[in-house]
Amino acid sequence: MASRADNIASNLNLGNFAKATELRQRIWFTIGALIVFRFLSFVPLPGVNPLILSELYNQTRGGILDLFNTFSGGSLQRMSLIALGVMPYITASIVVQMASALHPTLAALKKEGASGRQKLNQYTRYGAVILCAIQGYFLAVGLESFGAQSGLQAVVDPGYMFRIVTVINLVGGTMFLLWLGEQITSRGIGNGVSLIIMAGIVAQFPTFGSNLFEGGRTGAIAPFVIIGFIAMVVGLILLISFMERAQRRLLIQYPKRATQNGMMQADRSHLPLKINTAGVIPPIFASSLLLLPLTISQFAGQSMDPDSSFYTVIQSLNQYLAHGQPLYMALYAIGIIFFCFFYTAVVFNPEETADSLKKNGGFIPGIRPGKRTADYLEYVLTRITVIGAVYLTVVCVVPEYMIAQTGIPLFLGGTSLLIVVNVTVDTISQVQSHLLAHQYGDLIKKAKLKGRLR
């Protein structure tokens, strides 16, 4: 049986797509849904002048808007119907996940199984609507005053009607993206929301690549810098691919049970602990917290007197917290390390895992069940989280250092690489699972046919 499974796994290649009709349909549906997402990113909000908006956006680069704009595939820069993307949903899901680990009522819902998870998902959607409405309102207010100092007006007819229309459109756009992500998950190849985020990031690759090689052609960027940058990206992709699949597998042993032959046999399994349990959350949180004061200072600086002392303080803050500056990179690294440990402690509870093993009769060899097992799990998790935190810090800080040394306007940061590589690996696994299920289905049909012939 093992050899047959190995043969099937070795035959998972592109030639099997011709036979997997359902998989092809799922892939085409996913591609069509992502094309709809890209079309929507070019539909502007009513009442916004896109030419003036583009000019004003270029004046405020470097803040948190760049991070959100990358995840939305440039929709925020164009102020389209889906300018907020799925970030309100991501934020709401993180808040609900943290609350379910800290609040007793939500923690009880989490333990109820499918029904509890369905309620938590519903709370997440409600939170996404509320966050989207709040962000949409402040975005509309900010658009009305955006560029007041330079004499440019991005909004054609500012007022409460513009704010209401903007909020309705932004909430509708985000909810449509969530629905589209659910359709990709159920009718496509899975990971719907993650694929939408990845599509927004990947959509900017051609523009960045053309600017990079154009700089090399005109002599603005040295050829060895381009080669070094490409080598860095390839190295980071290989590192991410390796570390995201790296696990510490703890041996779990269960009491001996009688088999059909009357012999006693002990069951064994493994408890996998990922090296990077926190995923991409630490760099997102760390960069958001660092870029938030920079964004506020940029917007506030447009309406201030250039001769005031407070304006001078804001300009100094912008310089120290700019991309590639030593203070920014140091605070960025500290934030990533902190959120690695914090979010890992939220998503993985050693005491709960130890109690679950004890109830099922499982134990770690050499470790007593109960509190000793919980302490051992916490000890192992802390050690591997140190490795994961160092890995995330290297992946995210190296591109920042590259920007500071070469001056390349690099939007492809560590967070973007993490998302793209993770989603790509998960998507490949989903495709392989569909192909494997298809081949097993063919084997079952052949076995039934042989049984009937006999």
Domain range list for the chain: 20-203, 205-412
The band of 439, judged by pLDDT with boundaries at 50, 70 and 90, is low
- Residue 80: beta bridge partners? 44
Q: Which of 275, 282, 280, 243 is nearest to 385 (CA)?
A: 275
pTM greater than 0.85 (yes/no): no
- Give residue-wise pLDDT tens across range 281-308: 888 788 777 766 666 665 555 555 556 6
Please tell me which residue, 429 or 33, carries the higher pLDDT value: 33
- Residue 247: beta bridge partners? 274
Mean residue pLDDT of the chain comes to 78
C-alpha dist (Å) from residue 292 to 8, 65, 139: 51, 9, 14
pLDDT at 412 over 60: no
Report the topology of domain 205-412: Preprotein translocase SecY subunit (1.10.3370)
The answer to whether 180 touches 37, Cβ cutoff 8 Å, is yes
Which of the residue ranges 185-194, 285-294, 349-358 would you say has the lowest mean pLDDT? Answer: 285-294
Report the topology of domain 20-203: Preprotein translocase SecY subunit (1.10.3370)
- At 2 the pLDDT is 40
C-alpha dist (Å) from residue 393 to 58, 243, 333: 28, 13, 6
The answer to whether 340 touches 282, Cβ cutoff 8 Å, is yes
The band of 452, judged by pLDDT with boundaries at 50, 70 and 90, is low
Looking at the chain, the whole-number percentage of residues with pLDDT higher than 90 is: 12
Which of the residue ranges 10-24, 109-123, 314-328, 410-424 would you say has the lowest mean pLDDT? Answer: 10-24
Backbone angles phi, psi at 415, to 5 degrees: -65, -45
